[in-house]
Amino acid sequence: MRTKVGEEHLRRVRRICTSFPGTTEKLSHGEPTFFVHKRVYAMFANNHHNDGHIAVWIPVPPGAQAVLLKTEPDKFYLPPYVGVKGWVGIELDRISDEELAVHLREAWRLTGDGRRSSRRG
């Protein structure tokens, strides 16, 4: 179920993600999803399966998931499907644009730069 608040948060996420080089957006599993080099680095979740979260799901560096979930459980949560792969969900109503941009840039870097550098070696 889409919400007006969710649409406002999607605009925030979209504005930040589209500022990163090579980003494309398309629907995946019914939600706006952001890609770099054809790999997902951010998935918007607007009350996914009526779970109550208006969030973005992103990969984080190894070890960061446990730290974020423990130190800021009101802001970060274990998302379905991708949580087992080291991703976190970020509650968009509990994070500033500045902090959100830091996390999204890191997800973009992990996904995009990691792929490019692995091809060089």
48 — pLDDT class (breaks 50, 70, 90): confident
39 — pLDDT class (breaks 50, 70, 90): very high
Residue 63 Cα to chain centre, angstroms: 17
AA letter at 62: P
Residue that wins the pLDDT comparison between 96 and 112: 96
Q: For position 6, what pLDDT does the model report?
A: 87
Q: For position 44, what pLDDT does the model report?
A: 97
116 — pLDDT class (breaks 50, 70, 90): very low
AA letter at 86: G
Q: What is the count of structural domains for the chain?
A: 1
- Kindly state whether residue 53 falls inside one of the protein's structural domains: yes
Count Cβ neighbours within 10 Å for each residue of 61-79 and write b for 16 or more, e otherwise.
Answer: eeebbeebbeeeeebbbbb
**Position 119 pLDDT exceeds 60:** no
- Kindly state whether residue 13 falls inside one of the protein's structural domains: yes
CATH of the domain at 79: 3.90.1150.30
Say if residue 109 is exposed, middle or buried (CB neighbours under 10 Å; 0-12, 13-18, 19+): middle
3 — pLDDT class (breaks 50, 70, 90): low
Strands 39-46 vs 23-28: parallel, antiparallel or unpaired:
unpaired
Q: Where are the beta strands (DSSP E) in 17-110?
A: 23-28, 31-36, 39-46, 54-59, 76-77, 87-91
- pTM here is 0.89
Residue 100 belongs to what domain range?
4-113
- Kindly state whether residue 94 falls inside one of the protein's structural domains: yes
- Kindly state whether residue 56 falls inside one of the protein's structural domains: yes
